[in-house]
A and B are shown apart, each in its own frame.
Chain A
Amino acid sequence: MPKKFEKYIVIFFIVLAIIFPLITQNDYYIHIMTLAFIWSIAVYGLNLLAGYTGYLSLAHAGFFAIGAYAVGLLTVKIEMGFWVAFILAPIITAVIGFFIGIISLRTKEHYFAIYTLCVGYVIYLIIDKWDSLTEGVRGLMGIPAPANIGPISFTTPLSQYYLVLAILLLVIFIIYRIINSLVGRTFIAIRNSEPLALSLGISTIKNKLLSFVLSTFFAGLAGALYASFVRFLGPDIASTAITFDLLMYLIVGGIGTLFGPIVGTTLIVWISQNLQFLQDYRMLIFGPLLTILIIFAPRGIMGIIGDWKVKSSEKKRNKEAQKSQSELKKEA
């Protein structure tokens, strides 16, 4: 598949996302799509760490919640301006991520996953039990919608959809730049083999920490958007169930791929919306599907497409080689 063709596909989907609200005109669908985009941003953060660096963090919903509660608390309790709170939220999340990263990155593989699972649960407990700060199970209410920027207001579902879409596209672009830079290659090198990365002179500690902090930054950003979009926060958003939802989106879409997070998230969110009538029995369908996917396509939907691309380009190259060989024979 030529590069140009790929570009057209990407442009097609961007255009589709832009005209989507005009096609449906259904506020509920727009609402679902906006939520899917917000989750996608969080999954992009998870992908950077788990997909590209090879460190599976199970505290991601915790960091998402920190970003969300940062916006909620700063605007409701301190009555800070919305945009200041919105910018501070991911930064606060990343700073907390930095300190948690220093400690948790002393562990590896399963130990890292289990350690971060505990961290996520601790974050959930803090939000749930610290009534005086977070309002606990009652939840935090009255979070303002994004404030107007000049003449543009963000009170309608349509305008919020475009705000989230714009930030999502920006996030994808930033991730694209990261993974195609030396920093991104360093992350991939660490995923491939830490001793090898070390023997090339890469400081793995520094780079793992950078990946961790960036990952929490995007989780915090997604959380901040969630807070301003849903405008009510309960401790449940920090629960491990959310972490595993995010992980499922990532695995279905394709772990360690650029478009895996958005593909997996929108797909699963839509499917589960359409299976709403099955209620909790949905999991009877998702469970086996996910198991089959992991066995036969461990790198998800984008992984299948990637493999198919490699194969077809190999075929093409073999054909060309054969062609040039037969031409040589003719000349001889």
Chain B
Amino acid sequence: MLSLKNVTVKYGAYAAVHEVNIKVEQGQIVVLLGANGAGKSTTFRAISGLSKPASGEILFEEKSISGISPDKIVQSGIVQCAEDRKLFPQMTVQENLVMGAYVQRKNKKKMKQTMDEVFELFPILYEKRNDQAGSMSGGQQQMLAIGRSLMSKPKLMLLDEPSIGLAPLIVEQMFESIQLINKEGTTILLAEQNANAALNIADKGYVYENGKIVVQGSSKELFSNEEVRKAYIGA
């Protein structure tokens, strides 16, 4: 469904991501592991069109999307749920969701239907639908950020560190919701530092170090990989 071929992204002369190869099949959950600054977010920026790759190619459903503008990429079915759960804090929960459906704006009926689905997935959002987004707790804001991404009916969803800064119990719920979204038919590419929780729900993973992929394999393989265990799981 999505494949990155030798993708390099540079900030000035510095290569934040160096010759990366990633493959995501339809229906999978794929996780990118790595420390802060390893290149996970930059990879996401390249896929969603916010950064232009210096070399290499990004294919989505067999078509090249490298260098296409971000709004066209969202229209083609890839949506990025940004890090630090960026919301429109002065807008209400419902208004945030409507903004998420921007590419579906001509189809009001479908938008309403999708919003009901989001409310079903995160009932707390329905309860708080008329509250200002900025007034909600961290976990709720993360749910809203994911819910808003779902509003565009994506085929592929990029989730950047959804567990960051959340209480363990909420993290567990979050990963359950992600699994549920995946079961409903959305392919998911996940960037995480919480390797344990992420590998539990993922099909396969890639481990980043200094902008390069150093280890890759199925979740099982990564779980049993000595280096990965030492560095990210701590057992």
A46 CB to closest chain B CB, in angstroms?
A: 20
Tell me, in angstroms, the Cα distance from A203 to B86 when the chains sit together: 18
Q: Are A199 and B91 in contact (CB under 8 A)?
A: no
Q: Does A186 contact B (CB under 8 A)?
A: yes
Q: Mask for A140-177, Cβ within 8 A of B = 1, else 0? A: 00000000000000000000000000000000000000
Q: Which residue of A lies closest to B95 (CB)?
A: A185
Q: Mask for B24-41, Cβ within 8 A of A = 1, else 0? A: 000000000000000000
The residues of B that contact A189 with a CB separation of less than 8 Å are 88, 99
Q: Are B102 and A196 in contact (CB under 8 A)?
A: no
Q: Does B71 contact A (CB under 8 A)?
A: yes
The residues of B that contact A192 with a CB separation of less than 8 Å are 88-90
The residues of B that contact A188 with a CB separation of less than 8 Å are 88, 90-91
A interface residues, how many (CB within 8 angstroms): 16
Q: Mask for A195-238, Cβ within 8 A of B = 1, else 0? A: 11011111110000000000000000000000000000000000
Q: Are A196 and B91 in contact (CB under 8 A)?
A: no
The residues of A that contact B80 with a CB separation of less than 8 Å are 199
The residues of B that contact A201 with a CB separation of less than 8 Å are 70-71, 74-75, 79, 102-103, 152
Q: Mask for A25-65, Cβ within 8 A of B = 1, else 0? A: 00000000000000000000000000000000000000000
Q: Mask for B93-117, Cβ within 8 A of A = 1, else 0? A: 0010011101101000000000000
B103 CB to closest chain A CB, in angstroms?
A: 4
Q: Mask for B49-91, Cβ within 8 A of A = 1, else 0? A: 1100000000000000000011100110001101000101111
The residues of A that contact B89 with a CB separation of less than 8 Å are 192
**Interface hits, B99-150 → A, CB 8 Å:** 99-100, 102-103, 105, 148
Q: Are B152 and A196 in contact (CB under 8 A)?
A: no
Q: Does B3 contact A (CB under 8 A)?
A: no
Tell me, in angstroms, the Cα distance from A200 to B70 when the chains sit together: 8
Q: Are B69 and A203 in contact (CB under 8 A)?
A: yes
Indicate whether A199 sits within 8 Å of B79 (C-beta atoms), given known contacts A185-B91, A193-B86: yes
The residues of B that contact A202 with a CB separation of less than 8 Å are 71, 102
Tell me, in angstroms, the Cα distance from A189 to B98 when the chains sit together: 12
Tell me, in angstroms, the Cα distance from A185 to B105 when the chains sit together: 12
Q: Does B187 contact A (CB under 8 A)?
A: no
B46 CB to closest chain A CB, in angstroms?
A: 13
The residues of A that contact B100 with a CB separation of less than 8 Å are 200
Q: Which residue of B lies closest to A256 (CB)?
A: B90
Indicate whether A199 sits within 8 Å of B82 (C-beta atoms), given known contacts A185-B99, A186-B102: yes
Indicate whether A182 sits within 8 Å of B70 (C-beta atoms), given known contacts A195-B82, A200-B148, A201-B152: no
**Interface hits, B145-200 → A, CB 8 Å:** 148, 152
The residues of A that contact B8 with a CB separation of less than 8 Å are none
A144 CB to closest chain B CB, in angstroms?
A: 45
The residues of A that contact B42 with a CB separation of less than 8 Å are none
Given contacts A189-B88, A198-B70, 13 further A-B contacts (CB under 8 A): A182-B105, A185-B91, A188-B91, A196-B82, A198-B49, A199-B48, A199-B70, A199-B74, A200-B102, A201-B70, A201-B75, A201-B103, A202-B71
